[in-house]
Amino acid sequence: MDLRPLGRTGLRVSSLSLGGAAMGQQYGPVSAGEVADTIRAAIDAGVNLIDTAAYYGRGLSEELIGAALADGLRDRVHICTKAGRLDRAVFDFTPAGMRRCFEASLKRLRTDRVDILLAHDIEFADDFERVFTDTADVLHALKREGKCRYVGMSCYPLGLLRAAVERCDLDVVVSYAHYTLQNTRLVSEFLPIAVEHGVGVLNASPLALGLLTHQGPQSWNPAPPEVKAACAAAAELCRSRGADLAKLGMQFCYAERSIPSTITGTAKATELAANLRAIDEPIDADLLAAVEAVLAPVKDLSWKSGNWK
């Protein structure tokens, strides 16, 4: 597994990271045994970063990850978790709320510290100035206390993520659905700012919350209709050529070496194996060009998320 530097942290992280959303049943039911098998297979393949959150399955993702790592695997992997988002529409970015959320995460993860702690989906805050001050302050306090090694924030709007980087002395950020076959604004617009500030960037949701898959997105996917239609057309093109749009999308992200790691949320070993094969196999340049042509009318089109302007 290719290891890449994560900003100024000193960490070298695997180009593929394991995301915990699916382990929290976000995309359908999975068992504790399936999660444990997937985590062990990922670590054996060289994956050294697991990303999760208190929000995923209302703590279930962290519980299952903690149980899987308790069997002698904790020291072989970096854990990134997130605090502040408690449910689909429940957020608490106050210092006290962040502490409560994080302390519960540590218990579920069966550890006394994590490598990376993020404020989760900060675009849903009702006072961004307090996020840049109070929330950032409690993150740095937890870092000084040794409960996390590095701190950061995550959100969808790149403008808000840029403001957080410029204001909050962050180590790491997670951006999602902004480096995909359909949208590459993470590299073209945001990455130069992150590099300037020494911030490590993790790319989440490389398949745009299920848009870039044959089965298509779930009903809650927030993309506008024209993006959904273009992605469905790209999937059909790949199907007509006996190819897999999801595989092409993963290969596209792995190939971008300026991004330290791409987080893929899978809880099943078969899905992990497909992602690992995509790393090793060369990308089909002709297919990529054809898919990019289909997606060109919606290239870099984003959508509104949360309360950010």
Do residues 25 and 58 lie in contact, with contact meaning Cβ atoms separated by under 8 Å?
no
Q: What is the largest CA-CA distance in the chain?
A: 55
Q: Could you tell me if residue 300 is inside a domain?
A: no
Q: Could you tell me if residue 306 is inside a domain?
A: no
- 56 annotated active-site: yes
For 38, the 3-state DSSP assignment is helix
Q: Could you tell me if residue 203 is inside a domain?
A: yes
The answer, as to whether pTM is greater than 0.85, is yes
- Of the residues 56, 156, 176, 254, which is catalytic? 56
CA angle in degrees (0–180, nearest 5) for 121-125-126: 165
Is a pLDDT exceeding 80 seen at residue 205? yes
Q: Could you tell me if residue 52 is inside a domain?
A: yes
Note the pLDDT of residue 27. 76
User: Tens of pLDDT along 85-127?
Assistant: 999 999 999 999 999 999 999 999 999 999 999 999 999 999 9
β-sheet bridge partners, residue 261: 202
Is a pLDDT exceeding 90 seen at residue 303? yes
Min mean pLDDT across 187-191, 218-222, 229-233 is at: 218-222
- Kindly report the average pLDDT of the chain as a whole number: 96
Grade residue 220 by pLDDT with cuts at 50, 70 and 90: confident
The kind and range of the H/E element at 129 are helix 128-130
Sequence-distant (≥ 6) Cβ neighbours of residue 68 within 8 angstroms = 32, 35, 36, 39, 40
- In this structure, the number of other CB atoms found within 10 A of the CB of residue 87 comes to 9
Q: Could you tell me if residue 176 is inside a domain?
A: yes
Q: Could you tell me if residue 294 is inside a domain?
A: no
- Give the span between the Cα atoms of 308 and 304, in whole angstroms: 8
User: Tens of pLDDT along 24-61?
Assistant: 987 788 999 999 999 999 999 999 999 999 999 999 99
- Give the span between the Cα atoms of 248 and 242, in whole angstroms: 12
Grade residue 196 by pLDDT with cuts at 50, 70 and 90: very high
Share of the chain above pLDDT 70, in %: 100
Is a pLDDT exceeding 90 seen at residue 177? yes
Note the pLDDT of residue 71. 84
Q: Could you tell me if residue 299 is inside a domain?
A: no
CATH code, domain carrying 129: 3.20.20.100
Q: Are strands 90-91 and 114-119 parallel, antiparallel or unpaired?
A: unpaired
Q: Which amino acid is at 146?
A: G
Instruction: Domain of residue 128: give its range.
Output: 3-209+251-282
Q: Could you tell me if residue 40 is inside a domain?
A: yes
Number of domains the chain contains: 1
For 108, the 3-state DSSP assignment is helix
CA distances from 27 to 61, 112, 248 (A): 12, 29, 21
